Structure 1
């Protein structure tokens, strides 16, 4: 399984599916993606192989941690991210995996800023803010 940017210069080799798939509706993710939410599949960092060099953008979170996103310097696609509160995990953008059969989110966070027309179906944990 592989996640990659639009031009293919930045990729992440994945060991397979993961049970840790999270939809985030925070304003920062909306602005970063240009979409009403992002879906990240989280893996232990030591299980992934990153191919190519991503540019890093780091921001503070509302909870006082740091959040890093890594994107392709050529095409601008975000491919993966790392949250300061879970430094041993990497969140891979599910859209970069480009598999319509990929697992649906198990959690939906920052729903206080979720667009009114968005619905997260299925048996999902819902949080108005982060999990805390």
Structure 2
């Protein structure tokens, strides 16, 4: 069984994950662009039972472009988001792929909100393209 550890920049907040993700996606919505400070976000979704957070987290609830949004958990010291809970999927937890600091992490299988995608971005050809 694969075990991965996601961490904030200072290491105070972590999430231990057992097993493979149920979905790996990139999102081009404006909310994700603002939240990450990048042109898109990249996250992996896992069953809640497979994720064990540790450390002190601050929370921020962000409304979604569509749907109820998500509750983001970030380190109050360094500010890095380590995991978030999509409010429409209480049995799932999402973790930004960068929090794993693993260049060998699997490729995204889904690309969403492509109508807001920066024109220079080329999602993986094998990804399902939504919106």
Shared fold, TM over 0.5: yes
Q: Any idea what the Cα deviations from partners look like across 1:14-52, whole Å, max 9, x if unmatched?
A: 114324101011000000000001111100111111011
Alignment of 1:1-132 (within 5 A): 1-128=4-131
Structure 1 runs (4+) greater than 3 angstroms displaced: none
CA distance in 2, matches of 1:50, 1:60: 23
| Contact 1:69–1:81 (Cα < 8 Å) also in 2 | yes
Q: Can you give the 5+ residue segments of structure 2 that lack an aligned partner in the other structure?
A: none
CA distance in 2, matches of 1:84, 1:118: 28
Q: What is the Cα-based RMSD across aligned positions, in Å?
A: 1.1
The number of residue pairs the alignment matches comes to 128
Q: Greater shift after overlay, 32-41 or 53-62?
A: 53-62
| Contact 1:5–1:11 (Cα < 8 Å) also in 2 | yes
CA distance in 2, matches of 1:37, 1:93: 11
Q: Greater shift after overlay, 13-22 or 119-128?
A: 13-22
Q: CA deviation at 1:127?
A: 1.0
